């Protein structure tokens, strides 16, 4: 809900037509609180700058970054030890059957799911993912060579 003078971002060379072609891109529409055009900022162009105000919930974003990621099960190892998994699962279900007689359906399904995942983790363990290097070997060699050259030039300056 802006005045027409606050909506256009580009003026044609003849000065008669004004267009609103400046955009703010975001994958989360709810964080954008206000969008405006800067009138008095001269860019030397026929375009005007677009400015936006955003609101980011820092506690929520920090919590997303700090949340513990769950490790996946090693499915290959689980397939290799299938008989052991079935035997362990049968034993756990036999023990679970006695304790779940008076529970409702939701509690039973939750207990069954937890039992299956716990048993699979005991048999197969967690999948260990190898961290991939962010930089290639050639890039690391170039960086090392650059550091060495920089150290040599610093030593020469001191002398």
Residue 132 has pLDDT above 80, yes or no: no
For residues 68 and 36, which has the higher predicted lDDT (pLDDT)? 36
What does the pLDDT look like over 7-27, one tens digit per residue? 888 888 887 888 888 888 888
pLDDT attached to residue 145: 92
CB 33 within 8 A of CB 54: yes
Specify the 3-state DSSP secondary structure of 131: coil
What pLDDT, in 10s, does the model give residues 47-105?
888 889 999 999 988 888 887 666 677 788 888 888 888 888 888 888 888 777 778 88
Query: Would you say residue 129 has pLDDT above 70?
Result: no
pLDDT, mean of residues 35-52: 82
Please give the model's pTM, rounded to 2 decimal places. 0.38
SS (H, E, C) 69-95: CCCCECHHHHHHCHHHHHHHHHHHHHH
Return phi, psi of residue 2, to 5°. Answer: -110, 160
CB-count burial class (<10 Å; 0-12, 13-18, 19+) for 124: buried
48-54 long-range Cβ contacts below 8 angstroms, 24+ apart: 48/8, 48/9, 48/10, 48/22, 49/22, 50/9, 50/22, 50/23, 50/24, 52/24, 54/26
Residues in the chain, total: 159
């Amino acid at each position: 809900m802006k005045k027409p003078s606050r909506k256009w971002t580009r003026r044609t060379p003849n000065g008669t037509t004004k267009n609103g072609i400046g955009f703010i891109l975001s994958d989360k529409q709810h964080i954008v609180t206000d969008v405006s055009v800067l009138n008095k900022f001269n860019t030397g162009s026929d375009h005007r700058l677009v400015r936006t105000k955003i609101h980011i919930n820092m506690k929520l974003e920090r919590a997303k970054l700090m949340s513990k990621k769950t490790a996946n099960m090693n499915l290959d190892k689980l397939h290799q030890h299938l008989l052991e998994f079935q035997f362990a699962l049968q034993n756990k279900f036999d023990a679970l059957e006695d304790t779940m007689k008076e529970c409702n359906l939701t509690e039973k399904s939750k207990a069954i799911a937890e039992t299956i995942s716990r048993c699979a983790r005991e048999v197969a363990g967690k999948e260990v993912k190898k961290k991939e290097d962010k930089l290639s070997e050639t890039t690391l060699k170039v960086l090392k060579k650059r550091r060495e050259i920089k150290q040599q030039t610093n030593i020469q300056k001191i002398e």
